[in-house]
Chains A and B, each alone.
Chain A
Amino acid sequence: MAIFILYKFLLASIILVLSLLVAMYSTLIERKVAGWFQDRHGPNRAGPWGLLQPLADGVKLFFKEEFMPNSADKFLYILGPSLTMFIALLTSAVIPWGPDLVINGQAFPLQMADINIGILYIFAIVSIGVYGIMIGGWASNNKYALLGAVRASSQMISYELAMSLSIITIVMMTGSLSMRDIVAQQQGFHWNIFYQPLGFLIFLICAFAETNRSPFDLPECETELVGGYHTEYSSMKLGFYLFAEYINMFISGAVMATLFLGGYHFPFIDKLGLSPNVFAFVSFMVLFSKITFFGFIYMWIRWTLPRFRYDQLMRLGWKSLIPLAILNVVITGVVILLNK
């Protein structure tokens, strides 16, 4: 029992550090990708290939002046970024990172909690994710921040619906809400993306909207709202908001890989005859490369597409994605019934 608790503690720490590390270097990769897309070098002064740039950015943010507007709601002003960071880190608890490790004949699952409602847990976290932005935007007592917060809330509510509807098809096919079961069903090359291409597309678009990434970054639309919900933030509080976005990217990539791209499965990997622990490591690397692929898609689209206008965003969400998602549910239901 004590070993088990120690193991869970260790695993939680590793996942935490991993998310933070990935988020840190995503900022560098994002700028490198932007440089590549715009035919320039990107950051290359700090360390070889700019590898120390994230550290330099972090140090800079820490040493900036801590500023709080006079009329701000003090407690909520601090709560906003903290809550955003906290909620961003919560989702990783139900993601299965790989098959079980075997040490001394005892199996150690590479998943923090295999709760039987894993998918719904992710939804719960996504749906409360907007609080950090709303609280921060309101507490700043600034009209641009407030507008950003209001936009964030209506955007998140609208896209949550289509997102959950696109997941229902996966639940219908798997017959389980547990993330572990969903991954187990996609063994080999039976990835859900081949059975649910439309569902995957809807989920991908909604994931962009839920993480406030371009072309859905209206809550922080610089051209209209100065800085959006974090206009009044400086120093590490601003850093938390920016950082949480990259953590969200990483985690949502992991969720998409788990739900649609077979999680840690890869065709023919079980034919290699690896020992359990090496197998677990290779599987984890497979999952990680899938997440990296999604990370690149996020950046690719950010530096390719212009931002939506607000009415376009609402029309896309309510008039295209939700009807398509419902249609997808109906078609999946009919096909499942016919194949019974």
Chain B
Amino acid sequence: MFTEYIFYFLSIMALFSAVMVLVSKKPIHSVLFLTLTFFAIAGHYVLLNAQFLAVVHVIVYAGAIMVLFLFTVMLLNLNNDERSPKPVWVKIMAIAAGGMLMLTLIGVFRGYDIKSAHDPLTTQIGLVKELGRILYHEYLIPFELSSVLFLTAMVGAVLLGKKEQIYK
């Protein structure tokens, strides 16, 4: 009963801040609302008894990625007057494309019975022990390969940053 209220509170918070990301005039406000959305989603993870996922979600998204976003936006000091106004037809196209995506998603999910395979009160899937066992036993190779992928991306980023010095 009590968790139901929390669920509705978090859902409303997530949806509201997600809409505010788009509506806000200042880029900084958008970034901060996006952070709020991430916190609401982390709250949902806790409701699903997945504390580990919730905390990692906060560390990675709110603590690292969004701080970098904020850092970049602050460093460039973007202001709302510098953003060129979009022509009307672009806005109409955007609404049409977004609406079609939403229709497709509704069509897809209407056919399914969206019930979790796990009872949120008893499931252990989001706890660190279970997650670790699954990642290091069943999905060991994909897990290690994805870390190689990250390493490649990092090396690539460094190389792009140093390009001019290398080819001089």
A contact residues vs B (CB 8 Å cutoff): 73, 76, 115-117, 120-121, 123-124, 126-128, 130-131, 134-135, 138, 146, 149-150, 153-154, 156-157, 160, 177
- Least distance between A246 CB and chain B CB atoms (Å): 23
The contact of B74 among A116, A121, A126, A149, by CB within 8 Å, is A149
**CB < 8 Å neighbour of B63 from A124, A146, A149, A154:** A124
Instruction: List residues of chain B with CB within 8 A of the CB of A177.
Output: 128
21 residue pairs from A and B, CB less than 8 Å apart:
A73-B26, A116-B127, A117-B55, A117-B128, A120-B56, A120-B59, A123-B55, A123-B63, A124-B55, A124-B58, A127-B59, A127-B62, A128-B63, A138-B70, A138-B74, A150-B74, A153-B67, A153-B74, A156-B67, A157-B64, A177-B128
Q: Contact at A128–B58, with CB atoms within 8 Å?
A: yes
Q: Does B102 contact A (CB under 8 A)?
A: no
Tell me the nearest residue of chain B to A129, going by C-beta: B63
Q: How far is the CA of A117 from the CA of B54 in the complex (A)?
A: 10
- A138: chain B residues within 8 A (beta carbon): 28, 70, 74
- In chain B, residues 52-86, which have Cβ atoms closer than 8 Å to a Cβ of chain A? 52, 55-56, 58-59, 62-64, 67-68, 70-71, 74-75, 77
Q: Is B37 an interface residue (CB 8 A)?
A: no
A-B pairs, 5 with minimum CB distance: A127-B63, A124-B58, A120-B55, A153-B71, A124-B55
Query: Is the beta-carbon distance between B63 and A134 smaller than 8 angstroms?
Result: no
Does chain A have a CB within 8 A of B51? Answer: yes
Q: How far is the CA of A126 from the CA of B63 in the complex (A)?
A: 8
In angstroms, how far is the closest chain B Cβ from the Cβ of A93? 13
CB distance from A65 to the nearest CB of B (A): 27
Q: A214 CB to closest chain B CB, in angstroms?
A: 23
Question: Is B18 an interface residue when CB atoms closer than 8 A count as contact?
Answer: no
In angstroms, Cα B124 to Cα A116, docked, is 12
Answer whether A128 and B62 are a contact pair too, CB < 8 Å, given A134-B74, A146-B74, A150-B75: yes
